[in-house]
């Protein structure tokens, strides 16, 4: 071997050209420190068996060993702004009611009557009530979960508010989201979230409101559904549609133990593009995809990048729309696709122009299907209370995302992802190899997800 050959260990190779962290150094505005962090470690390259997706036994093990023990996003705080507002979160056979008590505290209860188990509220329901009254025999619980009325109590000398108040679940909040954990012994949410709160300090995610919410049934296992959003490797083949300058520069990072992320550039030059665009061509490309209005495309001034010019325009437009000043956001905060994942099923995008949150849940009846909640979170008005979130738009497997208002060009993009999912489900069962081979870097988040699920399934 020649002396000057660089020997790379598995996981060390990167795409030609600058890293994401190097690329954003060209921006006129400095991105917050977490954007410049790297956190990647090679943890093996062995195949992952398709039975992780297709096996009913594996799904049962997830339901028994993982879902009852992990923190999960149940709803936004603005879903239950007043005492007595409630929201039901279901995962597999488990169900929790999240509510706000008369003193304004958020609490969560197992959604089952302490008499004979009847669900107190229907799955997936939300609304307002002064007490939780069971529809079967009328046992009644206060918003604090206390049994306050037991009809014909003469027959139940062995039941009291001490012994038969509602079972609680753990509840905590971060960034305006309400999380629950069915395991009363589980470590606190703040510990579970790891770097997330620190990384989000410059985004004010708690000051956002739900502008759009849809819930779609997807034709694939919940893990594979998530994985469709965990790498940008598929963008060129699935989404680019022949557009020349759509190749992002991406960083993939894994943080202990429950968080990973990717961030990819929007509108930056990339040496991997088939021809090198001028900054003006990049701005034209951005304009075509995300036209902020009918205005003429401005000239990119000498010494500036298309990203910087476009970010200022987006800040101004969103500033007018949401009545506040976004000029303090960096170009990367404004434009880039910044996606953090919290194990096992929650994604949050804090960027200004791509402000989504995702939640995936398995279909308890069939491991080949899952449910996807997609939220668009917009900046709340600085002086007005956030509006009540819209009721979710329910979409079935074959319904197009383009039915949902507010998704813009992303509706068609999500449809492209869905057709890959159905094809994957078929291929999982047809594939003679029986397992998938992941890229060491670009698909490291998928490996991280499987590792964490396995930690629980094999415990």
Contact positions vs Fe ion (CB under 5 A) = 417
Q: Which stretch binds ligand FES (CB under 6 A): 135-143, 297-305, 350-358, 365-373?
A: 135-143
Q: Where does 291-343 have alpha helices with state H?
A: 306-322, 331-335
Nearer to ligand FES, 141 or 177 (CB): 141
Q: Compare residues 147 and 444 and give the one whose CB is closer to Fe ion.
A: 444
CB of 358 to ligand FES, least distance (A): 35
- 116 interacts with ligand FES by CB under 6 A: yes
Residue from 208, 203, 195 nearest 333 by CA: 203
Main-chain dihedrals φ then ψ at residue 446, nearest 5 degrees: -70, -40
Q: Which of Fe ion, ligand FES, none is residue 205 near (CB under 5 to 8 Å by kind)? A: none
Q: Cα–Cα distance between 395 and 305 in angstroms, integer? A: 40
Residue among 56, 137, 272, 426 that touches ligand FES (CB under 6 A):
137
Whether 176 and 78 have beta carbons less than 8 Å apart is answered as yes
CB 145 within 8 A of CB 102: no
CB of 147 to ligand FES, least distance (A): 10
Which tokens belong to 133? 């009254």
CA–CA dist 311, 335 (Å, integer): 6
- From the CB of 155, what's the least distance to ligand FES, in Å? 12
- Between residues 115 and 217, which has the closer beta carbon with respect to ligand FES? 115
Nearer to Fe ion, 336 or 417 (CB): 417
14 binds ligand FES (CB under 6 A): no
> Which residue shows structure tokens 């071997």?
1
Nearer residue to Fe ion within complex by CB, 180 or 421: 421
Picking from 41, 350, 353, 378, the residue whose alpha carbon sits closest to that of residue 197 is: 350
Q: Is 182 in the site for ligand FES (CB under 6 A)?
A: no
C-beta of 164 vs 213, nearer to ligand FES: 164
Q: DSSP of 215-284, one letter per residue?
A: EEEESS-HHHHHHTTS-STTIIIII-TT-TT----EEEEEETTTEEEEEE-SS---TTSSSPPPHHHHHH
182 neighbors 96 (Cβ within 8 angstroms): yes
161 binds ligand FES (CB under 6 A): no
Residue 417: contacted member of Fe ion, ligand FES, none (CB under 5 to 8 Å, by partner type): Fe ion
Our CB check for ligand FES shows the closer of 138 and 427 to be 138
Binds 426, which of Fe ion, ligand FES, none (CB < 5 to 8 A, cut-off by type)?
none
116 binds, among ligand FES, Fe ion, none (CB under 5 to 8 A by kind): ligand FES
Structure tokens at 203: 């985004």
Residue placing its CB nearer to Fe ion in the complex, 180 or 338: 338
> Cβ(264)–Cβ(20) under 8 Å?
yes
115 is a site residue for ligand FES (CB under 6 A): yes
How far is the C-alpha of 422 from the C-alpha of 429, rounded, in Å?
12
Residue of 94, 98, 134, 224 that binds ligand FES (CB under 6 A): 134
Hey, is 15 helix, strand or coil? Answer: coil
- The stretch near ligand FES (CB under 6 A) out of 113-121, 210-218, 363-371, 376-384 is 113-121
- Decide if 281 contacts 267 (C-beta within 8 A): no
Task: Please give the Cα distance from 356 to 348 (Å, whole number).
Answer: 6
| Closest distance to ligand FES from the beta carbon of 105 (Å) | 24
- Return residues touching ligand FES (CB under 6 A): 113, 115-116, 118, 134, 136-139
């Amino acid at each position: 071997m020649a002396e000057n050959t660089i020997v790379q260990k598995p996981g060390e190779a990167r795409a030609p050209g600058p890293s994401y962290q190097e690329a954003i150094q060209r921006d006129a505005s400095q991105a917050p420190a977490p954007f410049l962090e790297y956190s990647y470690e090679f943890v093996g390259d062995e195949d992952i068996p398709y039975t992780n997706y297709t096996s009913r036994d594996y799904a049962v093990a997830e339901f028994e060993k993982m879902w009852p023990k992990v923190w999960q996003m149940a709803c936004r705080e603005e879903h239950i702004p007043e005492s007595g507002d409630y929201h039901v979160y279901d995962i597999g056979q488990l169900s929790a009611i999240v509510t706000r008590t008369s003193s304004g505290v958020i609490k969560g209860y197992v959604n089952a009557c302490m008499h004979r188990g009847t669900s107190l509220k229907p799955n997936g329901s939300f609304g307002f009530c002064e007490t939780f009254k069971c529809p079967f025999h009328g046992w009644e619980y206060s918003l604090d979960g206390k049994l306050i009325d037991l009809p014909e109590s003469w027959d139940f000398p062995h039941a009291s508010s001490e012994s038969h108040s509602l079972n609680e679940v753990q509840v905590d909040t971060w960034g305006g989201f309400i999380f629950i954990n069915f395991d009363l012994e589980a470590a606190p949410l703040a510990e579970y979230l790891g770097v997330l709160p620190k990384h989000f300090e410059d985004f004010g995610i708690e000051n956002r409101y739900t502008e759009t919410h849809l819930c779609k049934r997807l034709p694939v296992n919940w893990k594979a559904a998530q994985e469709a959003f965990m790498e940008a490797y598929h963008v060129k083949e699935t989404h680019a549609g022949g557009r020349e300058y759509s190749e992002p520069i991406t960083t993939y990072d894994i943080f202990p133990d429950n968080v990973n992320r990717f961030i990819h550039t929007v509108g930056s030059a990339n040496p991997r593009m088939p021809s090198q665009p001028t900054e003006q061509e990049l701005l034209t490309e951005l304009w075509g995809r995300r036209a902020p209005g009918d205005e003429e495309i401005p000239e990119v001034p000498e010494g500036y990048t298309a990203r910087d010019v476009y970010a200022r325009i987006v800040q101004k437009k969103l500033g007018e729309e949401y009545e506040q000043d976004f000029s303090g956001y960096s170009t990367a905060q404004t434009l880039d696709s910044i996606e953090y994942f919290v194990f096992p099923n929650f994604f949050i995008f804090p960027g200004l122009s791509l402000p989504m949150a995702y939640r995936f849940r398995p279909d308890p009846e069939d491991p080949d299907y899952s449910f996807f909640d997609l939220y668009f979170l917009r900046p709340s008005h600085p002086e007005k209370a956030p509006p009540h979130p819209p009721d979710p738009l329910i979409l079935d497997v074959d319904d197009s995302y383009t039915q949902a208002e507010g998704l813009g060009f992303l509706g068609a993009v999500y449809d492209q992802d869905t057709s890959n999912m159905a094809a994957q489900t078929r291929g999982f069962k047809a594939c003679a190899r029986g397992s998938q081979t992941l890229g060491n870097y670009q698909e490291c988040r998928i490996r991280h997800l499987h590792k964490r699920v396995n930690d629980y399934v094999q415990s």
